[in-house]
């Protein structure tokens, strides 16, 4: 069994979610408001410890045609630096529709609560759930 920490990395916030490939169920954790790379890395490292994460899954914001644009390159650069700091396996997963899925989930909540809650952690959970649903197994932890 592998415990995963999923990240939905944006310019202003980072959504976090966790889950294990045994249970194959992702759950939103929290949202980090970005301040500095050092503080962002520290907050993520704390979440890794908190959930006992053994691997990171980073949502990669691909263009609709599957190509990588400037945002995907920024996410990769951030994730690679984080990986070098944490020394745990890193894997990427297509996040193109994660915000849409998160918005759909939040739309089902009472209006006041949904409006106040950023969708970033829910989007991270959608990325991780998609990863599990795609049939990932523990042996597919990346070589990173």
Q: ∠ CA(98), CA(99), CA(100), 5° rounding?
A: 90
What pLDDT was estimated at residue 41?
A: 97
Give the pLDDT band of residue 137 (cuts 50, 70, 90). low
Say which residues have a Cβ less than 8 Å from residue 2's Cβ, sequence separation at least 6: 20, 21, 22, 54, 55, 138, 141
Q: Is the pLDDT of residue 103 over 70?
A: no
Task: State pLDDT tens for residues 11-64.
Answer: 999 999 999 999 999 999 999 999 999 999 999 999 999 999 999 999 999 888
Task: State pLDDT tens for residues 60-99.
Answer: 998 888 889 999 999 999 999 999 999 999 999 988 654 5
Bridge-based pairing of strands 3-9 and 55-60 is parallel
Q: Is the pLDDT of residue 138 over 60?
A: no
Domain 3-133 has what CATH class?
alpha beta
User: Taking the domains of the chain in order of start, what are their residue ranges?
Assistant: 3-133
Q: What is the pTM of this model?
A: 0.83
Beta strands in 10-116 (DSSP E): 13-20, 27-33, 55-60, 90-94
Give the pLDDT band of residue 114 (cuts 50, 70, 90). very low
Q: Is the pLDDT of residue 102 over 50?
A: no
């Amino acid at each position: 069994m592998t415990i995963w920490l999923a990240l939905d990395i944006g310019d202003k916030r980072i959504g976090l979610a966790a889950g294990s490939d045994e249970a194959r169920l992702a759950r939103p954790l929290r949202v980090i408001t970005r301040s500095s790379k050092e503080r962002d890395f520290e907050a993520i490292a704390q979440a890794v410890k908190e959930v006992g994460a053994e691997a990171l899954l980073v949502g990669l914001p691909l263009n609709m045609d599957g190509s990588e644009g400037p945002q995907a390159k920024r996410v990769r650069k951030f994730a690679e630096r984080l990986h070098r700091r944490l020394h745990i396996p890193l894997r990427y997963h297509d996040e193109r529709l994660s915000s849409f899925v998160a918005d759909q989930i939040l739309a089902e909540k009472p209006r006041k609560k949904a409006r106040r809650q950023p969708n970033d952690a829910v989007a991270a959970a959608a990325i991780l759930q998609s990863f599990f649903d795609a049939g990932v197994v523990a042996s597919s932890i990346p070589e990173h």
